[in-house]
Chains A and B, each alone.
Chain A
């Protein structure tokens, strides 16, 4: 049975105090850098705008949220570091606590640390807003925004934790977390040309980049930031939302649709990862700790997706007008081999690289032919 181990939670809480303090300081510094840069730009441009757009005024809060979310995505690599070392596995898994409870207690310990760091910096950020000119914002809405931001942090932390628990080593997990943010954007931009006719119909906002967790987070933060600053006309965003969802459901050009899509997709991604989190705590083999990931789940597949996306992107961008396309493909291929060898931490030719070489060659020929047909048509 998975339960919280109270003594370990208390121990973890005390152990994480220095990290919590350091994280709070980093969030506060990030916030102050942003505020100072906004103020300086106003002074240097000598323009005083009575109504400062939300993305400048309220980004004080948004900066904290975004920095905290980045932290929440990668912090699980530290929290679940006991999964990445054989020495740590020996200690942690031999303790009188089952793997599920250990993961859950560690998860909650890390979440508490993030929540405290965020709360401290959010409060300070709020006081800064109070001290500055805060006309045009509804201060009362900073409370619900705080809880919304906490949910975002939880979801991001959940994504990071799932990848950390399913991974074998820190490097692979860090690469996976970077790639889950990078790949949807790359795929989205790469496929844009192929689906340009469709995307024009559906508005450019509707694209695969909403699958990227941080685009999702940023969209949500942006929309709620607007909600706060528009709140002197509190019904405005609600009407927009209502129009979009009910009265004018066909009108997907609505300003808020991409934000909603992001929010929904982001929540789905986090929810899908809850069973993965649960499964990994129960079934993950501790003997795989610190080993290079060999399963097709995770970084190995991500590399291949990245490789073929880049091939598509280059073939699409350069088209078949000249032979330069082959040069770019060669560069991508060499980069892929270097990345793959970096992942395996050794230099050797594998069957997989041979397969990738043949497959990528066939794929490129297909793309060039398709591009030619597509352009001609």
Chain B
């Protein structure tokens, strides 16, 4: 289990995040999300001791995260990992073998074969997707209990994303891994992550179980045969409202039956409901935090 207690990190020009506390359970896939520059990557770097927190502490399995014994169980894969021009998958494995005594070379070679990656090919000649898969193979071969993946899906084609998600889920299932993933691809995160945290404007604005949070919100499509606008739904306090002609889409938080009943009482000619996506939830949370999306779009 990872216990992050009141951590703060600043750079000379700005505070990256302040007073953040999160608990991440074992055997979970944790999605860390936020807008660009929210401090997700810095947060992962601090967790892995690449950077030091200014304040607060991180306990991993009840030990300080800076202890080498704890770090034996942590693997951090940044968004664009370094390799030499002369490196091959095998030479890179030799490097990581020096530090991770439980590195499973047999598993690594099998994974390279299954991913159709040449063992002796030059990494520099690989596509971004192949490199990402190869580094993921390294991450899983180290047999670390905690794997931190920065921008895990970004810039990858849909097929590669499916392969990577499948591999992550397999490994979590087989080896009881705990994976922290930062990504802007919220759809992918929604598919595999069970818990999440949103960082914005130096603060943790929400965190918890994804399904629990999403079950709290409902998306309704509603149509009337007369004119209407947002004020027609003021009693329901919608988080999101979009209207095109006589059809509107609302996202409302609360108990489903109560909301449905109130909408039904307005005599719509169409009323349909569905669950919201993680992406919609993210936008709601960011807007709640006074982030003016409209003005950003104008920019």
Of the residues A91, A96, A286, contact of B74 by C-beta under 8 Å? A96
Given contacts A10-B98, A96-B68, contact A90 B50 (CB under 8 A): yes
Q: Taking the nearest CB of chain B, how far is it from the CB of A228, in angstroms?
A: 42
| Complex Cα gap A5–B82 (Å) | 21
| Complex Cα gap A5–B94 (Å) | 15
| Complex Cα gap A233–B66 (Å) | 60
Of the residues A5, A8, A87, A93, contact of B81 by C-beta under 8 Å? A87
Of the residues B11, B50, B75, B98, contact of A11 by C-beta under 8 Å? B98
Whether B78 contacts A11 by the Cβ 8 Å rule is no
Can you report 18 residue pairs joining A to B where beta carbons are below 8 Å apart?
A7-B99, A85-B82, A87-B78, A87-B81, A90-B45, A90-B78, A90-B81, A91-B81, A93-B48, A94-B48, A96-B69, A96-B72, A96-B99, A96-B100, A101-B68, A285-B52, A286-B50, A287-B51
Whether A89 contacts B50 by the Cβ 8 Å rule is yes
Of the residues A8, A286, A287, contact of B98 by C-beta under 8 Å? A8
Q: Taking the nearest CB of chain A, how far is it from the CB of B46, in angstroms?
A: 10
- New A-B pairs, 20, CB < 8 Å, besides A90-B81, A98-B66: A7-B98, A8-B99, A11-B95, A11-B97, A87-B81, A87-B82, A90-B76, A90-B78, A90-B82, A91-B78, A91-B82, A93-B50, A94-B48, A94-B50, A94-B71, A95-B71, A96-B68, A96-B69, A285-B51, A287-B11
Q: Nearest CB to that of B12 among chain A residues?
A: A294
Task: Please give the number of chain B residues whose Cβ is less than 8 angstroms from any Cβ of chain A in the complex.
Answer: 26
CB within 8 Å of A: which of B46-78? 48-52, 66, 68-69, 71-72, 74-76, 78
| Complex Cα gap A10–B69 (Å) | 20
Given contacts A85-B82, A96-B99, A286-B51, contact A11 B71 (CB under 8 A): no
Q: Which residue of B76, B95, B99 has the most chain A CB atoms within 10 A of its CB atom? A: B99
Q: Taking the nearest CB of chain B, how far is it from the CB of A284, in angstroms?
A: 11
Contact with B along A200-217 (1 / 0, CB 8 A): 000000000000000000
CB within 8 Å of B: which of A265-320? 285-287
Please name all residues of chain A whose beta carbon is closer than 8 Å to the beta carbon of B287 when the two chains form the complex: none
Please name all residues of chain A whose beta carbon is closer than 8 Å to the beta carbon of B75 when the two chains form the complex: 94
Q: Which residue of A88, A94, A285 has the most chain B CB atoms within 10 A of its CB atom? A: A94
Chain A residues near B (Cβ < 8 Å): 5, 7-8, 10-11, 85, 87-91, 93-98, 101, 285-287
Q: Taking the nearest CB of chain B, how far is it from the CB of A263, in angstroms?
A: 38
Q: Taking the nearest CB of chain A, how far is it from the CB of B110, in angstroms?
A: 23
Q: Taking the nearest CB of chain A, how far is it from the CB of B276, in angstroms?
A: 35
| Complex Cα gap A283–B34 (Å) | 30
| Complex Cα gap A95–B76 (Å) | 8
Contact with A along B159-177 (1 / 0, CB 8 A): 0000000000000000000
Q: Nearest CB to that of B70 among chain A residues?
A: A96
Task: Decide if B206 is an interface residue (CB 8 Å cutoff).
Answer: no
> What are the 10 closest A-B residue pairs judged by CB atoms, nearest first?
A96-B71, A87-B82, A94-B76, A11-B98, A94-B48, A90-B78, A93-B50, A7-B98, A96-B72, A95-B99
Task: Decide if B80 is an interface residue (CB 8 Å cutoff).
Answer: yes
Q: Taking the nearest CB of chain B, how far is it from the CB of A282, in angstroms?
A: 11
Q: Which residue of B69, B71, B80 has the most chain A CB atoms within 10 A of its CB atom? A: B71
Please name all residues of chain A whose beta carbon is closer than 8 Å to the beta carbon of B52 when the two chains form the complex: 285
Q: Nearest CB to that of B79 among chain A residues?
A: A90
Q: Taking the nearest CB of chain A, how far is it from the CB of B208, in angstroms?
A: 27
Please name all residues of chain A whose beta carbon is closer than 8 Å to the beta carbon of B100 when the two chains form the complex: 96
Whether B68 contacts A97 by the Cβ 8 Å rule is yes
Whether B95 contacts A88 by the Cβ 8 Å rule is no
Q: Nearest CB to that of A101 among chain B residues?
A: B68
Whether B99 contacts A97 by the Cβ 8 Å rule is yes
Please name all residues of chain B whose beta carbon is closer than 8 Å to the beta carbon of A94 when the two chains form the complex: 45, 48-50, 71, 74-76
Please name all residues of chain B whose beta carbon is closer than 8 Å to the beta carbon of A91 when the two chains form the complex: 78, 81-82
Please name all residues of chain B whose beta carbon is closer than 8 Å to the beta carbon of A10 when the two chains form the complex: 98
Please name all residues of chain B whose beta carbon is closer than 8 Å to the beta carbon of A287 when the two chains form the complex: 11, 51
CB within 8 Å of A: which of B84-104? 94-95, 97-101
Q: Nearest CB to that of A12 among chain B residues?
A: B98
Given contacts A7-B99, A10-B98, contact A98 B68 (CB under 8 A): yes
| Complex Cα gap A215–B75 (Å) | 47
